[in-house]
Amino acid sequence: MISLKKIDKKEQHSHAHNLLKECLKPFDIEYCESMLKFGEHGKPELKDRGDIHFNLSHADGIAACIVSERECGIDCEAVREYRPKVAQRVFTPEELKMFESASENERDLLFFQLWTLKESFIKAVGRGLSYPMNTVGFSFEGDTISCTDNNYSFRQYILRDGEYVVSVCERING
């Protein structure tokens, strides 16, 4: 579930949790934040429902939520000017080659396409930013997203003509 609305950071957090509350209703769960526990690297989980996995994300003007029976991660970002030093630090050599071969006017969107895929992946594996982002790589062939880790599948949504990118990661087995 995705919501687009310009709100401040505190409201973004609240909005993301409201999305989670709605997404958990089909599972007969009346959600409140006190139901959460946190993994070793801070990944939130439901205390009493290890069979249900979720992840939240929010950024300027957008909030997103995924609920699944498998480990999952989601990341959303407003597309803005990328920072070259960040690309050098987090992209694999193959991603850097793809990125550098893109035209100047495609690079901001491509940066956030790759960034959100990496973020959704590290959130799904539960390691957060402690995971070395430059060790997992992505490539695109049409609408197909390939990852160097074959245990996960990915979907990506480009919203409002490239204003936002949302990436979703789910473990394939288990």
pLDDT at 60: 86
Encode the chain in three state secondary structure.
CEEECCCCHHHHHHHHHHHHHHHHHHHCCCCCHHHEEECCCCCEEECCCCCCEEEEEEECCEEEEEEECCCEEEEEEECCCCCHHHHHHHCCHHHHHHHHHCCHHHHHHHHHHHHHHHHHHHHHCCCHHHCCHHHCCEEEECCEEEECCCCEEEEEEEECCCCEEEEEEEECCC
Residue 9 has pLDDT above 80, yes or no: no
Mean pLDDT of 135-157: 95
pLDDT at 3: 55
Mean pLDDT of 90-99: 96
- Mean pLDDT, the chain, whole residue set: 91
Mean pLDDT of 43-50: 92
- Does 84 or 117 have the greater pLDDT score? 117
Residue 24 has pLDDT above 90, yes or no: yes
pLDDT band (50, 70, 90) for residue 1? low
**74-171: CATH topology:** Ribosomal Protein L22; Chain A (3.90.470)
Q: Residue ranges per domain, the chain?
A: 2-70, 74-171
pLDDT at 4: 54
Residue 5 has pLDDT above 60, yes or no: no
